[in-house]
């Protein structure tokens, strides 16, 4: 506030008006010489009037020590997540060709994108790099060689994995050509040979390869659910991991775990014990992040192993066939109860007090994913990773799901 109020003063305008005071940004993100203001700020027509003096934006640039100013608009609900960010000002001398280009460097990995046609979420920074040590170790010991990124965008997850691990190949898929142009440029900027990254443009449900992946990344919120069948088909016959992003409604009354949300009202519900029973699961938070001796698994077996293998082969050879088209497994051997394997290793949550809704989502996810897996496979949610509060009481989570043939 004080920054822009000072800027308004510097332009010699009258006292700030309530209408536009309400639209002053409380924060901004800096990417090199670009300051990005949050959505819903600086929209009031008075700002255009103030700017007409020619002094407002240069003053703001001077105060923030940047050369370009832009406002973020909510990512368009057009499937390709196109951004509608609007450039407010560029200082004279800025290259007009790159006026809307932003660059972010994290752990030595540089990601560039055009704020006018691609999205980027600074809040996902930790998640972009979380898998790096796991994948680096698995690539080094030869147990993993291929990752499929179903929603690759500009390379949010693809780039850190290629730049910081020895993984042999990432197959990066997106249906937005603008995002893929930036993905290719980011590969070049980080000196990653295209031989390590196969870039596929198209709907991942149609173009994702079958039977190749050790890991599949499903980085789409609010939900990646429509691509779960494709993700299951991507896995190698030996199985692997799905990293499933989902937004999860996490109502306050259920637990106190969302106390650090900026919009939390600090009521005493925050101190509520997380040990509660919801209709599916008994939950107790513990200091190491594991909870309640509960494994969220779902199994389904054919009695006859050969039939299982044949069904799996057929499944992999018909990449677009829904699992429902396979012969049904023997009902007596089919177990859809997520509590059935309670004695096994429990899933771990990155937070000591996982919200009951997160556990319910994990359980239903395991059940649904199992339905998309070949018969005889076991699906286990091993970890629930909290990424950020996407909106008040809506948690962006990543579920690490291990899928393997049983036995």
Ligand X SMILES: C[S@@+](CC[C@H](N)C(=O)[O-])C[C@H]1O[C@@H](n2cnc3c(N)ncnc32)[C@H](O)[C@@H]1O
**Nearest to ligand X of 185, 404 (CB atom):** 185
Q: In this structure, is the dihedral angle defined by the CA atoms of residues 370, 373, 379 and 385, taken in order, positive or negative?
A: negative
Query: How many helices (H) and strands (E) would you count in the chain?
Result: 12, 18
| Per-position x/- string for 161-180, each x denoting binding to ligand X as judged by CB under 6 A, each - no binding | ------------xxxx--x-
> Which of 220, 235, 362, 397 touches ligand X by CB under 6 A?
220
User: How far apart (Å, rounded) are the C-alpha atoms in residues 180 and 110?
Assistant: 15
Q: In this structure, is the dihedral angle defined by the CA atoms of residues 317, 166, 141 and 174, taken in order, positive or negative?
A: negative
**Nearest to ligand X of 64, 125 (CB atom):** 125
In the complex, residue closest to ligand X by CB: 219
Kindly state the smallest distance separating residue 115's Cβ from ligand X, in Å: 13
CA distances from 143 to 14, 147, 206, 378 (A): 67, 12, 27, 19
Kindly state the smallest distance separating residue 196's Cβ from ligand X, in Å: 20
Determine if 56 is a binding residue for ligand X (CB under 6 A): no
Structure tokens at 23: 């639209």
Which 57-96 positions form the footprint of ligand X (CB under 6 A)?
A: 79-81
Report CA 355 to chain centroid distance, whole Å: 19
- Of 20-28, 201-209, 263-271, 289-297, which part binds ligand X (CB under 6 A)? 201-209
Q: 94: exposed, middle or buried (C-beta count within 10 Å: 0-12, 13-18, 19+)?
A: middle
| Per-position x/- string for 135-164, each x denoting binding to ligand X as judged by CB under 6 A, each - no binding | ----------------x-x--x--------
Determine if 247 is a binding residue for ligand X (CB under 6 A): no
Number of residues that bind ligand X (CB under 6 A): 20
Structure tokens at 71: 């406002």
Which 271-330 positions form the footprint of ligand X (CB under 6 A)?
A: none
Matching residue, tokens 């010489």? 33
Kindly state the smallest distance separating residue 119's Cβ from ligand X, in Å: 6
**Nearest to ligand X of 200, 384 (CB atom):** 200
Structure tokens at 194: 């295209």
Determine if 204 is a binding residue for ligand X (CB under 6 A): yes
Pick from 357, 347, 331, 356: nearest CA to 380: 347
Determine if 119 is a binding residue for ligand X (CB under 6 A): yes
Q: DSSP readout, 321-369?
A: --GGGSPPPPGGGEE--TTTTTTSPPPEESSSS--HHHHHHHHHHHHHH
Kindly state the smallest distance separating residue 260's Cβ from ligand X, in Å: 20
Determine if 219 is a binding residue for ligand X (CB under 6 A): yes
Positions that interact with ligand X (CB under 6 A): 79-81, 119, 121, 124, 151, 153, 156, 173-176, 179, 203-205, 219-220, 227
């Amino acid at each position: 506030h004080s920054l822009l109020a000072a800027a308004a003063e510097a332009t010699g305008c009258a006292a700030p008006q309530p209408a536009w005071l309400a639209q002053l940004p409380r924060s901004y993100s800096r990417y090199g010489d670009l300051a990005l203001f949050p959505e819903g700020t600086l929209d009031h027509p008075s700002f255009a009037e103030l700017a007409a003096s020619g002094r407002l934006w240069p003053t703001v640039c001077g105060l923030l020590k940047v050369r370009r100013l832009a406002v973020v608009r909510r990512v368009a609900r057009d499937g390709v997540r196109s951004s509608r960010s609007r450039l407010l000002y560029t200082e004279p001398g800025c290259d007009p060709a790159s006026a809307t280009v932003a660059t972010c460097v994290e752990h030595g990995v540089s990601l560039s994108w055009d704020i006018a046609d691609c999205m980027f979420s600074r809040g996902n920074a930790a998640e972009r790099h979380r898998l790096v040590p796991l994948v680096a170790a698995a690539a080094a010991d030869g147990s993993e060689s291929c990752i499929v990124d179903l929603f690759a965008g500009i390379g949010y997850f693809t780039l850190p994995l290629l730049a910081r691990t020895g993984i042999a190949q990432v197959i990066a898929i997106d249906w937005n050509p603008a995002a893929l142009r930036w993905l290719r440029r980011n590969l070049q900027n980080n000196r990653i040979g295209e031989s390590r990254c196969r870039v596929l443009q198209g709907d991942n449900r149609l173009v994702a390869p079958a039977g190749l992946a050790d890991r599949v990344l499903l980085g789409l919120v609010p939900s990646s659910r429509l691509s779960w069948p494709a993700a299951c088909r991507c896995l190698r016959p030996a199985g692997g991991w799905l990293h499933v992003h989902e937004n999860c409604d996490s109502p306050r009354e259920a637990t106190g775990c969302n106390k650090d949300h900026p919009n939390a009202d600090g009521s005493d519900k925050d101190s509520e014990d997380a040990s509660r029973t919801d209709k599916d699961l008994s939950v107790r938070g513990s200091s190491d992040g594991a909870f309640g001796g509960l494994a969220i698994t779902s199994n389904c077996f054919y009695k006859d192993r050969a039939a299982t293998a044949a069904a799996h082969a057929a499944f992999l050879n018909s990449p677009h066939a829904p699992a429902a088209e396979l012969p049904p497994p023997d009902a007596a051997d089919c177990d859809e109860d997520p509590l059935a394997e309670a004695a096994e290793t429990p899933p771990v949550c990155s937070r000591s007090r996982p919200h009951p809704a997160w556990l319910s989502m994990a359980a239903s996810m395991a059940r649904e994913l199992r339905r998309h897996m070949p018969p005889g496979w076991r699906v286990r949610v091993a970890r629930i990773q909290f990424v950020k509060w996407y909106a008040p009481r809506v948690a962006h989570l990543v579920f690490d799901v291990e899928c393997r043939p049983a036995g």
